[in-house]
Structure 1
Amino acid sequence: MNSSAPVLTDGPPQSGPGSAAARPGLLGRLGVWSVQHFKTVLVGWLVVVAALGAFAPQVTTALSGAGWQANGSDSVKVRALAQDHFAGNASSALQIVVHADRPVTDPAVQQVITRAEATAGADPRVSVVIPPQPGATVSQDGRTAILLAGAKANPDEMVRAADDLKGPLAALSGNGVQVNATGASVLWSDFNTANHDAMMKSEIMSWPVTLAILVLAFGSLVAAGLPLLLTMAGLAASAGSLVLISHLFPVSIWAMNFAMMFALALGIDYALFLVMRFRGARTGRHRGTAEAVGETMDTAGKAVLLSGATVLVSLSAVMLVPSPAFRSMAGGIMLAVLFVLAATLTLLPAVLGRLGHRVDALALPWVRTGEQRSPRFAAWGERLWKHPLRYGALALVALLALAAPVIGLRTAMPSITVIPTTDSARAGYTTVQQAFGPGAPGTLQVLTPTSQAARSAATVAATPGIAGVMPTQAAADGSGWSMIQAVPTVDPSNPQLGTTVHTLRAELPHDTLVGGAAVENLDLQHLLTQKTPLVIGVVMGLGFLLLLIALRAPLISALGTAASLLSTGAAFGVARLIFQDGHGAGLLGFHPQGFLDGWAPVFFFAMIFAIAMDYTVFLLASAKEHYERTGDPKEAMVGAMAHSGRVIFAAAAVMVAVFFTFSLSGPLPPKEMGVVLGVAVLLDAALVRLVLLPVLLRLTGHAAWHTPAWLDRILPKIPFSHG
């Protein structure tokens, strides 16, 4: 296939001074229109950003803090039934732990308990406050008591109630009395606060490094500011959109955190690719600014559009997991990607058209402005072409060695240790364990038809792993349900609890449901384990399909998609060594849980694949462009390295710097995210996209770009060359 084939051109060449240029394609015409209507584009974006950005300041209060659940599971049904029929005694209820250096019957302690009861009872989201019950919620030594503030609102509102109440309740402490709010809602409140603060701190730490890399990558201060333009536009618009969407259904606060990361990462990637191509288009053929923008959009613009589509497709697969937190996080990132992509395809070309040669203003002294082809990466491409097996084998062996530990990877939902020891939920959790036993914070709730309550209670009491059973409580509203609360013998994060719950569900009478906060985590973990193969399969399948449609080359599309598994596997192999086995835990400042957090395989895989395919698209789109022009596999590979290698290297450097700053954060989840994503991007860029994939292009030669006749008839014809 060469550039003379009619299906590979955008139209007949135009005559005119210096014009070997072809008529612009659809994206090229969009770019030229944006240049010619600069004021319209600018005003349009200002209106969008101002209208949606007006809601952005509400994002931290409007978004939800809960949603980590498996919709449709027995445990979620138990929570809903308990809230409706048992005065809000659900997993989302707040537990107020009062611990004293003397018996809680002391008048001074009783006064504190009364004030705590009044404080919680005044909140409209609390149904009723149940005072401490001797023999159940008063410890054997008489010095610890638990008040239960029933849930009158949904789990998201109960997390907000925890936000509002944990401070005033803690303020009641003093004179030998300690008051702490705990329970699942308070845990999520503390968890979200700790992680949000850590992520904000990490992002602030990463900005100086990011800016330095941007200036080095773009070579001028003016050009380095363009990614920030895209990022700010995308962030303001997506943040405001999330606030508006939150009025329709709950959106996790984590959606905004991840949206910020992706908006910055993709804003940098896309701006790098387009600005580099624009410089070359202006300088290489001495074209006018508008014409250079048209060429840029017809070539690099198509790669950016394909990249954005691939990112969106990868993240959409997370929607297959029926968990509100996961779906809203994926949705938040997708919104940010859509806005950044729209800004890249309209606002950026308009600004480039207005800047023209001034895009290189304030250039670094040693930078050759307008240079599009990197001599260093061209030389590296030549070396890979001469010695493909040597470098390809080394890269493959390194990736497989790092991926090997993934075989023994264990996952589970995070334990209480992921939040600081001084936080309310953990302080209360520790007090409850010391006073009532290790399994007390993970009390199980068994809902059974009242007609079978006696049999169910006997089964629960006889089940191994149960330390004690509280008296059966029949629903006061006559609904026919009875609740049995059972205290396990082990901590909620202990894997043995899963065995106990499985045994109960197998042996209890029909229509009996087992729930509680700890069981909700187990059900979510089971759901994630069950859905992981499906999500991975769908992500890879859709990613391959998009590459196939764009490149019309099944072999290299398949190889490019499969190569993403190597960097992903290696990243999780490293994560197992660090977070499960504890290697380097002292250096990073954490205590290993003995497993990786349960959401990592599904969510991180989708994120890693999206980023990896971003680089794959840049490299292969550039290679296809060169192959269309020359029909030479060597020029396709070496030319792609010369034109896109520097972009991939610089974009990866920014992302690695950003992600690794998260590994310095206090809480464990941001550390896991930083290490897994940072290692994945580093390995993917350094070993897969800049070594292994070019080697595969070298070894497959013309076959890499071959399109079978039957496939040629059904696939759209999308050229990447221009003129």
Structure 2
Amino acid sequence: MERRKKNLAASIGGWSARHRWWALLIWIAFVAVTTFAGNAVGTEKMKSYESLNGDSRQAGQILDEANYKDVASEVVLVQTRTGSLTVTDAAFRRAVMDVKSAIEATGQVENVRTPYDEQPSPVTADRRTTLVQFDMKGEGATAADRIEPVLDAVAGVQGSHPDLRIEQAGGASANKMIGEAIDKDFVRAEQLSLPITLGILLAAFGALLAAVVPVALAMTAIVAATGLLAFTSQLLHVDSATSNVMLLIGLAVGVDYSLFYIMRAREERAKGLGKRRALEIAAATSGRAVLISGITVVVAMAGMFLTGNGVFMGFAEGTILVVLTAVVGSLTVLPALLSLIGDKIDARLIHGTVRVATRGRVTWRRVLGVRGGQSRMWAAILRPVLRHPLVSVIIASGLLVALAIPALSLKTGPQTIDDLQGDYAIAQTFKRIDKAFPGGTEPAVVVVRADDVTTPEFTAKIEEFKRQALATGEANEPFYVAINPDKTVAKISIGIKGSGIDEVSEHAVHTLREKVIPATLPGAHVTGGTAASMDFNDQLSRTIPLVFGFVLLLAFILLLISFRSLVIAIKAILLNLLSVAAAYGVLVLVFQKGYGDSLLGFHSIGTITDWVPLFLFVILFGLSMDYHVFILSRIREAYDKGMRTEQAVTVGITSTAAVVTSAALIMVAVFATFATLSLLTFKELGIGLAAAILIDATIVRAVLLPASMKLLGQWNWYLPRWLGWLPQLSHGEAEIEEETAPAEREPVLVG
């Protein structure tokens, strides 16, 4: 008797189904313990310098260790609207002094500086614009909580001087106005995601319980993973946005994995199999697909560790935890739940009574014409594809290549105030300040450390640095020096020419680093917005090949082991790369070229946020494997049961149509909600992810995959002889009815 091949997912699922109460109790205890323990420990957020790279990171780390007082600095722009009023006129001076008196009266500010003080605040060359500078009292981290009275005071002065523009901006006021708006955006997106997901699941299953179980499992996985993050973050600190990314990915994969599992169990029950046998088959087939898919997603996410950037590494940490937790939940608690619930999973409320009924429901299975576990609608689509595979490949590939061509002109840039879309007055204030005082809002920050930076000799060096920097013509006022309490670190702030994100500003930073600093303050480091962006881009240019190579190589190895086919593994990589490239093209067309910007409610700034392309590649490559592995597993299962390749492709795709359609719609809907956020970066992420998943689940999986498999025929299963040692993994125990004689089955090619 032939020995059965090992199937880890089937073993785990079988144990959970047989010991359902133990499996449920262990899961509940796991979620509870990780949640309470995680809350007790607390998630360790990364320090500001940990998100930086290169010279900027060194500067940031020195500043972090220098014990500078945490100060929130603010400015009030005072600018003539019309006429010839200047800072020397009495009306202008009166307005400036009114600002000073009003903000000091709040009791929340200190160190107020005006153009009329001994150390004056800056004034433009035409004398029509100046700044009133001040610091908020108390800790800078909590200044946003105390800024409201100051904002009201400035608004009151503006009302008394209509001929002048009097507007406030700064870190605290930005956090108050913009931060609250963005927080509301995320809350709205999260509130939209859950009901949309639940609605699609109701359409997919036509049963309330079947729709609730995947969402509940996904949410408990997210909660548990968040608790685990508190422990791992003690070793690798995370960015505050990590939890949002975990919600996005966790909801997508958690629901998808449950969909795969539940749909297969229902399908086997519909064939007349017993509950236990249906669960065994679901565990051996969909459970195994979930395991392979989860490992592939984890591998893709792990690629972000190679970037060396703290934000990416934190994203990798969080997403790996949530995917692993979702996989564990799908393989353990889900079969236990299905074993406990039984056929009541199909129950729906009818006139206040729970009934198990299927007739009359409008579900995807009806819309897609699913009969006998296969979709007649997708079968109708596949017929011409398989009848004319070469034409289908040429047309589909041509369409994706056409979408990908714009990606060749992809241009990235750092996040700036322009990233904030919508009617935010403070954004316009920042732009006016930057226009009046170039480099003033994003100056270069030079950090130098010594035994004593206040000695006459060192002070002279700082003065010489200022002289030479200004003499280059690439730096300008304002120029400030701040000394730490131990007098061991000097933080020098100096304005630089350009917009802060253009070549002019970048050249100014290069000049400071390569010419001025070596001649005056050797060993000093430069940070600031421009410098940080430059160092980030330099780091990415070095590590992107490593990330791409790591993800592609390990995904290839996983697929090769899973399906014992060199061709399947190579083709999966190529198809995924094609769909990612097409998504990049869509990003360029929409956000760089501005097509459809009015429809989506944003204004193009001509660039894509610098970290988005790499993040999209990693996320998309991982998530798109969900469908590919699921469909290929079903195709391989059919092939292993004796079907010819073309027949196995038809059965595999038509039998998974309802699941793939539902899973794709959920991901597209969840990701699309991010397009409603105020930050352009999140709009890019939302549209990019939604477009890629839509392309992947339709053009790639419905046309390119089957057509290419038909063209390759028996070569799909080619495995060189020297790889014959690879383990033979089971693709399930499903009883698939053979429509062709075993003698007609194509042989596996071995080279």
Question: Shorter chain as normaliser: what TM range?
Answer: 0.7 to 0.9
Cα distance 1:458–1:260, how it changes in 2: closer, same or farther (>3 A)? same
Q: What is the deviation of 1:277?
A: 1.2
What is the CA deviation profile of residues 687-716 of structure 1, one whole-angstrom value per residue up to 9, with x for unaligned ones? 112211122211221121122221111x22
Greater CA deviation, 612-621 or 525-534? 525-534
Cα contact 1:49–1:237 (8 A) shared by 2: yes
Greater CA deviation, 632-641 or 190-199? 190-199
For the residues of structure 2 that align with 1:304 and 1:104, how far apart are their CA atoms?
70
1:452-531 paired onto structure 2 within 5 Å: 452-453=461-462, 455-468=464-477, 470=479, 477-479=486-488, 482-508=490-516, 509=518, 510-531=522-543
For the residues of structure 2 that align with 1:171 and 1:650, how far apart are their CA atoms?
50
Q: What is the deviation of 1:555?
A: 1.2
What is the CA deviation profile of residues 658-684 of structure 1, one whole-angstrom value per residue up to 9, with x for unaligned ones? 222322333312211111001111111
The alignment's TM-score, normalised by the length of structure 1, stands at: 0.86
Note the aligned Cα RMSD (angstroms). 3.3
Greater CA deviation, 587-596 or 223-232? 223-232
Greater CA deviation, 536-545 or 344-353? 536-545
Paired position in structure 2 for 1:391: 392
Cα contact 2:113–2:119 (8 A) shared by 1: no
Cα contact 1:415–1:593 (8 A) shared by 2: no
Q: What is the deviation of 1:533?
A: 2.6
Where do 5+ consecutive residues of structure 1 fail to align?
A: 12-24, 122-128, 153-157
Paired position in structure 2 for 1:412: 413
Cα distance 1:68–1:338, how it changes in 2: closer, same or farther (>3 A)? farther
Aligned partner (choices 656, 665, 686) of residue 674 of structure 1: 686
Where do 5+ consecutive residues of structure 2 fail to align?
A: 79-90, 159-165, 349-357, 451-457, 735-751
Cα distance 1:162–1:107, how it changes in 2: closer, same or farther (>3 A)? closer
**Amino acid of the structure 2 residue aligned with 1:468:** E
- Secondary structure of the 1:144 match is strand
- Secondary structure of the 1:97 match is strand
For the residues of structure 2 that align with 1:391 and 1:48, how far apart are their CA atoms?
49
**Amino acid of the structure 2 residue aligned with 1:444:** A
Cα distance 1:525–1:120, how it changes in 2: closer, same or farther (>3 A)? farther
- Confirm or deny that 1:717 pairs with 2:728: yes
Cα distance 1:81–1:262, how it changes in 2: closer, same or farther (>3 A)? closer
- Secondary structure of the 1:630 match is coil
For the residues of structure 2 that align with 1:83 and 1:343, how far apart are their CA atoms?
41
- Secondary structure of the 2:641 match is helix
Cα distance 1:376–1:512, how it changes in 2: closer, same or farther (>3 A)? same
Cα contact 2:136–2:143 (8 A) shared by 1: no
Paired position in structure 1 for 2:5: 10
What is the CA deviation profile of residues 597-652 of structure 1, one whole-angstrom value per residue up to 9, with x for unaligned ones? 01111111111111111111111111111111115212221121122233222211
1:348-363 paired onto structure 2 within 5 Å: 348-362=334-348, 363=358
Fraction of identical pairs, as percent: 29
Q: What is the deviation of 1:43?
A: 1.9
Paired position in structure 2 for 1:103: 93
1:125-274 paired onto structure 2 within 5 Å: 134-135=118-119, 137-139=121-123, 144-148=131-135, 160-167=141-148, 169-176=150-157, 180=168, 182-183=170-171, 193-246=180-233, 250-274=237-261
Q: What is the deviation of 1:467?
A: 3.1
Q: What is the deviation of 1:259?
A: 1.2
Greater CA deviation, 689-698 or 189-198? 189-198
The alignment's TM-score, normalised by the length of structure 2, stands at: 0.83
For the residues of structure 2 that align with 1:571 and 1:387, how far apart are their CA atoms?
26
For the residues of structure 1 that align with 2:642 and 2:176, how far apart are their CA atoms?
59
Aligned partner (choices 272, 278, 282) of residue 265 of structure 2: 278
For the residues of structure 2 that align with 1:720 and 1:544, how far apart are their CA atoms?
18
Cα distance 1:583–1:496, how it changes in 2: closer, same or farther (>3 A)? farther
Cα distance 1:662–1:623, how it changes in 2: closer, same or farther (>3 A)? same
Cα contact 2:298–2:323 (8 A) shared by 1: yes
What is the CA deviation profile of residues 126-154 of structure 1, one whole-angstrom value per residue up to 9, with x for unaligned ones? xxx686665553546585221246998xx
Paired position in structure 1 for 2:741: none
- Confirm or deny that 1:316 pairs with 2:324: no
For the residues of structure 2 that align with 1:104 and 1:471, how far apart are their CA atoms?
26
Q: Whose Rg is larger?
A: 2
For the residues of structure 2 that align with 1:595 and 1:364, how far apart are their CA atoms?
52
- Secondary structure of the 1:442 match is coil
Cα contact 1:65–1:188 (8 A) shared by 2: no
Paired position in structure 2 for 1:603: 615
For the residues of structure 2 that align with 1:323 and 1:636, how far apart are their CA atoms?
44
For the residues of structure 2 that align with 1:533 and 1:248, how far apart are their CA atoms?
26
Cα distance 1:300–1:86, how it changes in 2: closer, same or farther (>3 A)? closer
Greater CA deviation, 268-277 or 604-613? 268-277
Cα distance 1:113–1:187, how it changes in 2: closer, same or farther (>3 A)? closer
For the residues of structure 1 that align with 2:268 and 2:492, how far apart are their CA atoms?
73
- How many residues align structurally? 682
Paired position in structure 2 for 1:615: 627
